[in-house]
Amino acid sequence: MRQSLTLEQKKARLGVQLVLPSVIVIGLLIIYPVAYNMYLSMFKVNLVGSNTFIGAKNYTNIITDITFWQSVLTTFLYVVFSTFGTTLFGLIVALAMNKKFPLRMIVRSIIILPYVAPVIAIVYAWQFFFDPVNGIFIHVVVEMLGLYDQRFNLIGTPEYAIWVAIIFSIWKSFPFTYLMIIARLQTIDTTLYEAAEIDGCSSWKKFLHITFPELYFVLGTLILLRFVWNFNKFEEVYLLTENVKTLPIYTYFKAFTGVMDLGQGSALAVIQFVLLIGLILVYVKKVLKW
């Protein structure tokens, strides 16, 4: 005869039953691919036939390549400056758009355009714009204004290319940041500002002591998201200027040009994953204080 369960045991069983579907879905869609990727990173993956176990060779191949370390540095430059720029620019625009002025609704809509326009179309527009021989930018600064005595390739030249990619990223992504911030700005209790005004606070002090603390977690989350997105960004950077070898682009060259090297690609994905997770953990603990 089966022993009847106590109320606590029934609750525990119900808990397990409720959580189980999520555990299975997460296990299948997240844990399994990550684990399989780690497993694959220790093999030479052959197009046909079985794979060959090579231990940590894929990893040593990568970390002994100087281009890998250059791409790590490029990635950090790109991610830090583009994330910081996007957040700052989004914040400034959101603060400006929170004020009342004529045609505000139209201006607010226009601001969204860079974010919603297809990447490929914008990238080609930028390339034509900055083309060293036919581009209008060079034509203006060299031929019309005479600021430079000879033409140059702003997008292509390695020392400029990363800054063009960063500016492009800021320009393309700031509307999202702006939208999130302005949504939060509109929920701040106006009586706080009224009280501050009675106390004689300047605009800067109102921003520092009311607006910024209210926005703190929105900004924190936006920085975190932008950091992750830009760390993994491929299409925008590669299409605009493949000279900016961030980690995803390095991975593409290393693993996916010519005959694919899935083992090498997996090892790179693991390294990228570890770097990203490490940085996120530090950020979440130190900045977001979760």
Partner 1 sequence: MKKPLKVIMMIVIVCLVSSFVLTAQGEEEQAGPVSFEFWTTETQSDRMATIQVLVDTYEILNPDVKINLVPVEEDDMATQLQTASAAGNLPALIEIGAENAVAFGSDGLMDTVRNSELIDMIGEEEFYSGALRLVASGAGENYAIPFHGWIQGIWYRADWFEEAGLEPPTTWENIEKAAEYFYNPKENQYGILVGTTAEGYTEQCFTQFALSNGAQLFDKDGNLIFNSPEMREAVEYYAKLAQYNPPGPQTWRARDYYLQGKMAMFFYSTYIMDDLSLQEKAAGSLTGENFEELAGSDFDPDLVTHTQMVPLITNTDTAGYGVIVTLGIINQPDAAAADAAVDFARYLYTPNAYITFLHMAPGGMNPVLKGIASNERFQNDPQGIFKHYGADKMSEINTGMNDIVTFSIVDGNRITDASTITTKQIIPQMLYKVTQEGMDIDAAMNWAESEMKKLID
Cα atoms in the Cβ-side hemisphere of radius 13 Å centred on 268: 26
Binder of partner 1 out of 95, 139, 228, 229 (CB under 8 A):
139
Contact between 284 and partner 1 by CB under 8 A: the answer reads no
Torsion of CA 89, 92, 96, 97, to 10 degrees: 50
Q: Which of residues 178-197 bind partner 1 (CB under 8 A)?
A: none
- Count of residues that interact with partner 1, criterion CB under 8 A: 32
Contact between 114 and partner 1 by CB under 8 A: the answer reads no
Binder of partner 1 out of 151, 192, 218, 229 (CB under 8 A):
151
Of 48 and 106, CB closest to partner 1: 48
Binder of partner 1 out of 156, 206, 273, 280 (CB under 8 A):
156
Stretch that binds partner 1, among 1-9, 22-30, 195-203, 254-262 (CB under 8 A): 254-262
Stretch that binds partner 1, among 12-20, 47-55, 114-122, 211-219 (CB under 8 A): 47-55
Stretch that binds partner 1, among 83-91, 115-123, 144-152, 195-203 (CB under 8 A): 144-152
- From residue 63 to residue 102, what is the string marking binding to partner 1 with x (rule CB under 8 A)? -xxxx-----------------------------------
Decide: residue 14, CB within 10 A, 0-12 exposed, 13-18 middle, 19+ buried: exposed
Cα–Cα separations (whole angstroms), residue 27 to 17, 134, 230, 277: 15, 53, 26, 18
Contact between 203 and partner 1 by CB under 8 A: the answer reads no
Contact between 18 and partner 1 by CB under 8 A: the answer reads no
Stretch that binds partner 1, among 11-19, 74-82, 228-236, 249-257 (CB under 8 A): 249-257
Contact between 4 and partner 1 by CB under 8 A: the answer reads no
**Token digits for 124?**
């080609």
Binder of partner 1 out of 95, 98, 132, 279 (CB under 8 A):
132
Contacts with partner 1, residue ranges (CB under 8 A): 46-49, 61, 64-67, 132-134, 136, 139, 149-153, 155-158, 242-243, 253, 256-260, 262
